[in-house]
Amino acid sequence: MIVLIGGEKGGSGKSCLAQNLAVYLVAYPKMDVLLLDADPQETTTDWVHQRNKNPALVKIHSVEASGNIRDTLQDLETRYDAVVVDAGGQDSEALRSAMTVARLMLIPFRPKRRDLKTLPHMDSLLKLAKAINPDLIARAVITQCPALPSQAQRILDAKEACRSFGIAPLVSIIYARNIYDDADEGGLSVLDNEHDPKAQAEMTAMAEELLGTVQCRV
């Protein structure tokens, strides 16, 4: 299974989601997982290097790739239970080629206009990809959400914007929490850190809901 985390807008937490999803897959379904970093910023590669220096943590396999990664992904899919792709926050050849072979695609959006303005372009990319890969399942997730009750409508509006372009949003949302940045510094995920059970719960819920979409299609 190839799970692609990508989109056109940077800063919405794609690398964080890819890293945490990889840890979830290794720790809970106990899959043999590879993280593929296709983001030129190499955020995920740096995170893996930090993580694998810590003998107390479960190691994550990773590789870097760029350009047309379709053949690379098809090869890796035969050797791992799951390949999680961090495609970064831009329209790139890596993103487009990964969309033609991925089973799942998760597109993070912050509940902000500048993120949601990318929806028409993402809709076009998805239509092109599904012409080649009709089995691709794409879901949106609203990230870095404000916790104030007064901002709840902003989150609901972001979900409705996604629906209006045919990109179903997950029920799960990811709140803006310092723990995501703090954990990243040492190659940790929030699932490795017991100090913030709320972050653990929301990341687990997101992973379970996303992976459950595949089971619903079977």
Can you give the chain as a three-state secondary structure string? Answer: CEEEEEECCCCCCHHHHHHHHHHHHHHCCCCCEEEEECCCCCHHHHHHHHHCCCCCCCCCEEEECCCCCHHHHHHHHCCCCEEEEEEEECCCHHHHHHHCCCCEEEEEECCCHHHHCCHHHHHHHHHHHHHHCCCCEEEEEEEEECCCHHHHHHHHHHHHHHHHCCCEEEEEEEECCHHHHHHHCCCCCHHHCCCCHHHHHHHHHHHHHHHHHHHHHC
pLDDT tens-place values along the chain, 218 residues long: 999 999 988 888 899 999 999 999 998 888 899 999 998 889 999 999 999 999 989 899 999 999 999 999 999 999 999 999 999 878 899 999 999 999 999 999 999 999 999 999 999 999 999 999 999 999 999 999 998 888 899 999 999 999 999 999 999 999 999 898 888 878 899 998 777 899 999 999 999 999 998 664 53
Per-residue pLDDT, 215: 61
Per-residue pLDDT, 218: 39
